[in-house]
Structures are given as C-alpha cells and as structure tokens.
Structure 1
C-alpha cells in the first residue's frame, strides 16, 4: 500500500458540494492500493501513519507522532498513486488493485484506524472528490508497505 501523507493545519473533502470529511491539525493521507496488497500491509501502513514522527516537539524537532498529538487523520482513496510512470507520457495502472479489491482493503484500513484513533475522517471511495488542505511546513512524505 502507498500513502502520501501531508502534515496539515486543516483538511477537508467535498463531494457534490458537501463536506464529507474534515479535520483540524493532523495528517491527510492519500491512499493507493496495489494488486499485491493485503490486510497485513494495511496494518503495517496504519502503524506507520499513527506512529510516524512528523510533528514538532518542544525543541521544534520532528519527534512527535499523530498518536502523541491526538491530531486528526483524514484518509482519502487515490488510485492514481499506484500508477506506473516509468515509461511514456501516459500513466499505466496495471499495478493498481481492482476497484472492488481496493475498496475492500481501503475500508479495512479505515475501520482499523477508526477503532484505534480518536479522530478519523474520510472521503467517499470511487467518487469525484475535491480535497482542500493547509499544508503545515510544508511537510509531505511517501510511505509504502
């Protein structure tokens, strides 16, 4: 699984003119699911999301995690992260999971996150979403499992 995470001051997802997910300070995680991904990879990714130290401590060093700060986690499915961009001028999605498999694994990740973190929001899988954010830093990382 792939996560492009951004430390944010706030972030939201809008579908058909309505906000469907919104957080204050925390992490926006755009999630890509690949063919070989499974529940074990989703569990490892969630552990990284919750424990990755990207928030400042008292000395302004990145030593605090989402768990440490009790910040929000906004999970947004984004199949384009699974694109192969090595050749040509058009991405290939041959490594991306099928929509049904991706939805199953994304829903699993979401349920696990909601079960162990106090503030978890999401967009709507498979819909046209408008994502808004105020990137804090900017701080952005690419995580893979």
Structure 2
C-alpha cells in the first residue's frame, strides 16, 4: 500500500455535487493498493499514520500525533498512486490492485483507523471526486508499506 499523507487545516470531498466527507484539523490520506497487499499492510499503515508525530508542540517541533491534537482523518482511494509513467505519455495502471480487492483493503484501513478512536471521513470508492485540501505547513509525506 502507498499513502500520500498531508497535514491539513481542513479537507473535503465532493461526489456529484454533494459533499460526502469533511474534516477539520488533521490528515488527508490518499490511499493506493497494489497487488500482494493484504490485511497486514492495511494494519501496519493505519498504525503508522495514527501515530505519526507531524503536528507541532508548544516549541514548534513535530512531536504530536493525531490523538494528541484531537485531529481527524479524511481517506480517499487513489489507484493512480501506482501509475507507471516511465514509458510513453499515457500512465500504466497495471500495478494497481483490482477494484474488488482494493476496496476490501481500503475499507479495512478505514476501519482500523476508527478502531483506534480516530474520527474518520471518506470519499466514495471508484467515484470521480472533487477534493479540497487546505494544506498546513505544508507537511506532505509518502509512506509505503514494507513486506509485512
């Protein structure tokens, strides 16, 4: 799995003109799933993101996690994170997992974050989404799961 994690002041996702998810202070997570990913990767990544110390303490140091700042998470599926652009002009998406498997792992990832007591909003899997992201910092991280 691969995630682009952005610290945000707020973030929202709209599908067909209707807002389906919104958060305030927290993290916007764009999540991609590849072949061979499974529940272990979803759990590892949810643990990593939930405990990331990317929020500033009273001294301006990145020492605080989501729970410590009462932050929220917006998770949006993003198969294009596994695009291969090395050849030609059209990206290849063969490294992205098939939608049925990707959706199961996306939902497991969301459930794991919720089980940690976090407030989580989501987009709509496989929908065309308009995403509003108000970066804070900006702080943007790319996290890939190791072989678990």
| TM-score interval, normalised by the smaller of the two chains | over 0.9
- Give the unaligned 5+ runs of structure 2: none
Please report the TM-score for the alignment, with normalisation by the length of structure 2: 0.94
Counterpart of 1:97?
Answer: 97
The answer to whether the 8 A contact 2:54-2:65 is kept is: yes
Q: Describe how 1:28-107 pairs up with structure 2 within 5 A.
A: 28-107=28-107
Q: Secondary structure at 2:138's aligned position in 1?
A: strand
Q: What is the deviation of 1:105? A: 0.6
Shift of 1:23: 0.3
Report the Cα distance in structure 2 between the residues aligned to 1:85 and 1:54, rounded to whole angstroms.
30
Deviation at 1:128, TM superposition (A): 0.5
TM-score normalised by structure 1 residue count: 0.96
**Does the residue aligned with 2:75 lie in a helix, a strand or coil?**
strand
Name 2:3's counterpart in structure 1.
3
Paired position in structure 2 for 1:12: 12
What is aligned with 2:136? 136
Question: Could you tell me how far apart the structure 1 residues matched to 2:121 and 2:65 are?
Answer: 18
Runs of 4 or more consecutive aligned structure 1 residues displaced over 4 Å after TM superposition? none
The offset of 1:67, in angstroms, is 2.2
Cα distance in 1, alignment partners of residues 118 and 109 from structure 2: 15
Give SS of 2:124's match.
coil
Matched residues, number: 145
Q: In the aligned structure 1, how far is the partner of 2:61 from the partner of 2:3?
A: 22
| Post-superposition offset of 1:69 | 1.3
Partner Cα separation in structure 2 for residue 3 and residue 121 of structure 1 = 16
Structure-1 separation of matches of 2:3 and 2:31: 5
State the SS of the aligned residue for 1:125: coil
Cα distance between partner residues in 2 of 1:75 and 1:98: 19
